[in-house]
Amino acid sequence: METKIAVLKGEIGEEQFIKEASKVIRNGGTVAFPTETVYGLGANALKSDSVKKIFEAKGRPQDNPLIIHVASKDIDEYVKNVPEVAKKLMDKFWPGPLTLILEKKDIVPNETSANLNTIGVRMPKSDIALKLIKESGVPIAAPSANISGRPSPTDIERCIEDLKGRVNYIIGGDKSNVGVESTIVDCTVTPPIVLRPGGVTLESLREVDSSIEIDKGLLNNSDDFKPKAPGMKYRHYAPNAKLKIIKGNRKKTIEKIREMVHNYIKAGMKVGILISEENIDMYSEGEKIVLGSYNDLSKVASNLFEALRKCNDLNVDIILAEAFTEEGLGIAIMNRLNKAAGYDIIEA
């Protein structure tokens, strides 16, 4: 399939490209586009034939539902009822990196919701995304714009790398500044439950409703609790090489990584290390990839997926990552890292 690529530089040509891309959506095609979290791969959320193309392009399992992206808080057309807490969350965090799970109306086809009677709804903050949805005149179903299983793309080049030849249109320019996907909150249950940690922190959600809980299936990899969001059970975000996380106090973590890097290199392997800015001078061996300061987790989040893809470019045989704190945005960062590592965590 031929993919039209529109790389936006400032506002030059933007209007025309948005028009073209929205026409593709209206005609039932697929468009990859930027959002503030990660790039999305969109199609008309209300047409099953269009939505099927997303699953095909990504190689996505059929039982993994999609999020629909809207350009306003007026969502009564798509969902049955909007509980008070959902309204408050929308008011505080939309447009932004928050997806609400609500009861869906029949207008949303079963292909979009993977046969669930609920649907995830999000109003993204990205200007391009909002313009594209408005101009299309329909909600846009969009998972992250990666081939299933790979790290989500945070810029247009990574999007092209995965989807050129598989989708009708790729539009973008800006880097996704949040860098991890939206936080998903199930508002069909009381108390509401976080099904996926993301760009909005648990602490800030609890400022709206202190009873909001986090899905226990997310906190460890135990068989007793399975994650409630269908997508959270899949191996995801995985770089080509095996990734191991080293966890412990700063000194011990550094010592452990240094020792492991040394041994892997001696055994003839190429090693990538994902580290915090503060520790850059602590390592003399290995391919260093700095994620950001451990005092600035928003930077770490925005660099994370690109760092995992960089490891593929560098063709490393193994990757070692320093663990980050599991507070604030750190919950989302460690959730993605844990999944990318298949929960291979070493205590230093």
Question: Does 335 engage in binding with ligand TXA (CB under 6 A)?
Answer: no
Which pair of tokens denotes residue 289?
């990839």
Query: Per DSSP, what are the bridge partners of residue 40?
Result: 33, 144
CB 321 within 8 A of CB 337: yes
Strand-by-strand arrangement of the 345-347 sheet: 287-292, 271-276, 318-322, 242-247, 345-347
The residue within the footprint of Mg ion, chosen from 50, 118, 144, 183 (CB under 5 A), is: 144
Binding mask 178-207 for ligand TXA (x = CB under 6 A): ---xx-x----------xx-----------
Q: How far is CA 173 from CA 12, 17, 54, 177, 280, in A?
A: 12, 12, 21, 12, 30
- Please report the beta strands in the chain, taking only residues with DSSP state E, as ranges in sequence order: 4-7, 31-33, 40-44, 67-69, 98-103, 118-122, 140-141, 169-172, 183-186, 193-196, 213-214, 242-247, 271-276, 287-292, 318-322, 345-347
**Residue nearest ligand TXA by beta-carbon distance:** 231
Q: Least distance in Å: CB of 142 to Mg ion?
A: 10
Sort strands 67-69 and 140-141 into parallel, antiparallel or unpaired. Answer: antiparallel
- Find which of Mg ion, ligand TXA, none residue 21 binds, CB within 5 to 8 Å per kind: none
Q: Which is nearer to Mg ion, 118 or 144 (CB)?
A: 144
The structure tokens 């269009």 sit at 50
- Find which of Mg ion, ligand TXA, none residue 65 binds, CB within 5 to 8 Å per kind: ligand TXA
Phi-psi region of 171 (alpha: psi -120 to 50; beta: other; left: phi over 0): beta
Q: Which is nearer to ligand TXA, 140 or 271 (CB)?
A: 140
Span near ligand TXA by CB under 6 A; candidates 81-89, 137-145, 260-268, 278-286: 137-145
Determine the residue type at 220.
N
Number of residues that bind ligand TXA (CB under 6 A): 30
Q: Least distance in Å: CB of 186 to ligand TXA?
A: 7
- 238 backbone dihedrals φ, ψ, rounded to 5°: -80, 125
Which pair of tokens denotes residue 343?
């929960």
- Find which of ligand TXA, Mg ion, none residue 126 binds, CB within 5 to 8 Å per kind: none
Q: Which is nearer to ligand TXA, 141 or 254 (CB)?
A: 141
The residue within the footprint of ligand TXA, chosen from 29, 96, 109, 120 (CB under 6 A), is: 120
User: For residues 201 and 341, what is the distance between their CA atoms, to the nearest angstrom?
Assistant: 22
Binding mask 43-72 for ligand TXA (x = CB under 6 A): ---------------------xxxx-----
Question: Does 116 engage in binding with ligand TXA (CB under 6 A)?
Answer: yes
Sign of the alpha-carbon dihedral angle for 137, 139, 144, 146: negative
Question: Does 113 engage in binding with ligand TXA (CB under 6 A)?
Answer: yes
Span near Mg ion by CB under 5 A; candidates 78-86, 102-110, 127-135, 141-149: 141-149
Which pair of tokens denotes residue 293?
């300061």
Span near Mg ion by CB under 5 A; candidates 10-18, 137-145, 255-263, 293-301: 137-145
Site residues (CB under 5 A) for Mg ion?
A: 144
Site residues (CB under 6 A) for ligand TXA?
A: 35, 37-38, 40, 64-67, 97, 99, 101, 113, 116, 118-120, 122, 124, 142-144, 181-182, 184, 195-196, 229-232
